[in-house]
């Protein structure tokens, strides 16, 4: 086998989460920084926690809000046809 083909394996590497939790594991990387661990992940804690690094949740909320405003002002085809029929009937009775 070739020498120095595989990276060096460290048996005790410190893993640090953004919530402050730290633990040790084995890895080829030295210090590891992670965003979510079992202490702060919603699946394990049962608490809903939104982690939004790039503003995706805010973009989605704005899009939903704009769609709800547009849907309130838009009228369906059936309603438009009913209004047109009422207008036509009132015009024909005025003559």
Whether 74 shows a pLDDT value over 80: the answer reads: no
User: What pTM was estimated for this model as a whole?
Assistant: 0.45
CA–CA distance from 9 to each of 5, 27, 31, 92 (Å)?
Answer: 12, 6, 13, 89
CA–CA distance from 40 to each of 4, 22, 32, 56 (Å)?
Answer: 38, 12, 17, 20
Question: Which of 50, 43, 8 minimizes the C-alpha distance to 29?
Answer: 8
Average pLDDT score over the chain: 81
Question: Which of 44, 64, 60 minimizes the C-alpha distance to 52?
Answer: 60
Whether 20 shows a pLDDT value over 80: the answer reads: yes
């Amino acid at each position: 086998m070739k020498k120095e083909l595989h990276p060096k394996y460290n048996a005790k590497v410190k893993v640090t989460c953004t919530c402050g939790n730290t633990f040790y594991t084995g890895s080829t990387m030295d210090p590891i920084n992670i965003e979510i661990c079992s202490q702060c992940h919603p699946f394990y804690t049962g608490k809903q926690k939104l982690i939004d690094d790039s503003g995706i949740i805010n973009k989605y909320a704005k899009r939903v809000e704009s769609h709800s405003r547009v849907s309130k002002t838009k009228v369906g085809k059936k309603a438009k046809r009913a209004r047109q029929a009422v207008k036509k009937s009132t015009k024909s009775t005025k003559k």
